[in-house]
Structure 1
């Protein structure tokens, strides 16, 4: 990753992605918490508490290198994104719940992500006091995450026609940002790419599968209906890898290419595992994915 203009442009690109997320949000998306608290609370507990704990256990079990270990924890602390909403729609999940969870996580991540990253950096990189996200860097995360989301929501309220017109190109741009970020990391690590995949690939795959299964299975055990549990599975199992890669690479934040590798590998494998997971839960439930969701 020796391209200064690319590194400088990543936070701006992520801001555009988060702006696009805001275009699809309204205040009503947050009110779903009051109407269906169990589905929301169980999913949030899985994502914010259970998932980082399981990721930490996997990192120790696979004995990942320190930088990769912190990168995995950063990935675990990253929220879901538009891709999760798309898969939920394709496989009959409750998309409104996805939107609600994404909205809440996009707000909470400003607090939760620095905690997870700083604790993991302190544990795995105890020799390097410079790595972490002190208050000044948290403010920058706030700027590139919450400010664009709020701006997108404001555009939707004030200029709904403009918001509808912008939605499609911003979604396309979101995919482009993810592809460019992954390609840039892969290119920067091209000399050691095979070694990275051998060392990190199994842990990333295991984490991806655990995320999907926990996201679906725990809500089902708690009595949440199939469609809401499917939405939760995709929301928890498909992380916003562009977010994780940007935080890892940005010179003003973590500035560490090694921490971006887990997010890069995850961004590749998640599409295949998510598709397989979607087919599995749809077939096992015996529910036609085209049937309207039960929750309003």
Structure 2
């Protein structure tokens, strides 16, 4: 099971691409899953709750500055970047709402895997994801209301309730179940990464299947905005951490946390609150597709560069000796 989990996580982007392609070719095979997106995201969040431990919360207390920078950047940089891109590209209202929605979401759970691959501070990544996710029921509707109200009337209270149902309650339930049955559920916890991968792949496939016409019409424009949003998130997150004097491992973790969104939440919120305009869910779906490609690429670059840097230092030390 551990080997299967590792394989699925390493090939995550390939599975997303494969099923997105199948969904475009045979949308009828996946479109029925749209009714279950909220449930699938709830399962992912329940699994996250089951994996949380006191150690995760202690890591927040042990490095409060780094966690504050990561979470602060998450809820400042990505929403403002989304708003700026909507203005710069003069996006139609239904697409702009979708871009802002994914921009206001917390960090994605896949960021922890990418942080590990990049040899970043994984404990910091987990702490930032946990804190931003717990703050999302309040901050996601509030920030979205402030930035998106120029395009559409928003019921922030209804959105707050949705985020609590999809994120907060499943996480709390997962923490409770883990605490009560710790010894009995260890084997199930090991399966949760695999369950999360499958659920995210199916969520993306469902949205792609339901938005085939819109993808053919506006897919390239949305892809360009998503690539810029994601890339600038990585860049600004990294240099903000550096300017605030975090070390390299912490800066990489913050960069990944900022650049990678919980796009599944964006899809779920769009499906619930903007069902009349299916294209609103498309930026979140494409973001989920893209950041699972860009994340591993960035991680590989950093891991390779760090390895080369280490070899250079070892060579210099040998020369000095």
**TM-score normalised by L of structure 1:** 0.87
Q: Count residues with an aligned counterpart.
A: 281
State the 1:80 CA deviation: 1.7
Change (3 A) 1:23 1:70: same
User: What is residue 175 of structure 1 aligned with on the other side?
Assistant: 197
User: What is residue 291 of structure 1 aligned with on the other side?
Assistant: none
User: What is residue 14 of structure 1 aligned with on the other side?
Assistant: 41
User: What is residue 258 of structure 1 aligned with on the other side?
Assistant: 279
State the 1:105 CA deviation: 0.8
State the 1:277 CA deviation: 1.7
Give the alignment of 1:63-78 within 5 angstroms: 63-78=90-105
Write 1 or 2 for the structure with the bigger share of helix. Answer: 2
User: What is residue 233 of structure 2 aligned with on the other side?
Assistant: 211
User: What is residue 181 of structure 2 aligned with on the other side?
Assistant: 159
Structure 2 unaligned segments of length 5 or more: list them: 1-26, 311-321
Query: Is the contact between residue 77 and residue 233 of structure 2 (CA under 8 Å) also seen in structure 1?
Result: no
Structure 1 unaligned segments of length 5 or more: list them: 289-296
Cα deviation, 1:47-85, whole Å, max 9, x if unaligned, reads 112221122111211221111111111111111222111
Query: Is the contact between residue 19 and residue 151 of structure 1 (CA under 8 Å) also seen in structure 2?
Result: yes
Query: Is the contact between residue 42 and residue 167 of structure 2 (CA under 8 Å) also seen in structure 1?
Result: yes
Q: Greater Rg, structure 1 or structure 2? A: 2
User: What is residue 248 of structure 2 aligned with on the other side?
Assistant: 226
What is the rounded CA distance, in whole Å, between the counterparts of 1:28 and 1:280 in structure 2? 29
Query: Is the contact between residue 211 and residue 237 of structure 1 (CA under 8 Å) also seen in structure 2?
Result: yes
User: What is residue 78 of structure 2 aligned with on the other side?
Assistant: 51
Is 2:170 the partner of 1:148? yes
Query: Is the contact between residue 75 and residue 106 of structure 2 (CA under 8 Å) also seen in structure 1?
Result: no
What is the rounded CA distance, in whole Å, between the counterparts of 1:147 and 1:186 in structure 2? 28
Change (3 A) 1:7 1:185: closer
Cα deviation, 1:189-243, whole Å, max 9, x if unaligned, reads 2123232222211111000101111222211121111111111111111111111
State the 1:284 CA deviation: 4.2
Query: Is the contact between residue 40 and residue 97 of structure 1 (CA under 8 Å) also seen in structure 2?
Result: yes
User: What is residue 291 of structure 2 aligned with on the other side?
Assistant: 270
What is the rounded CA distance, in whole Å, between the counterparts of 2:255 and 2:240 in structure 1? 9
State the 1:267 CA deviation: 1.3
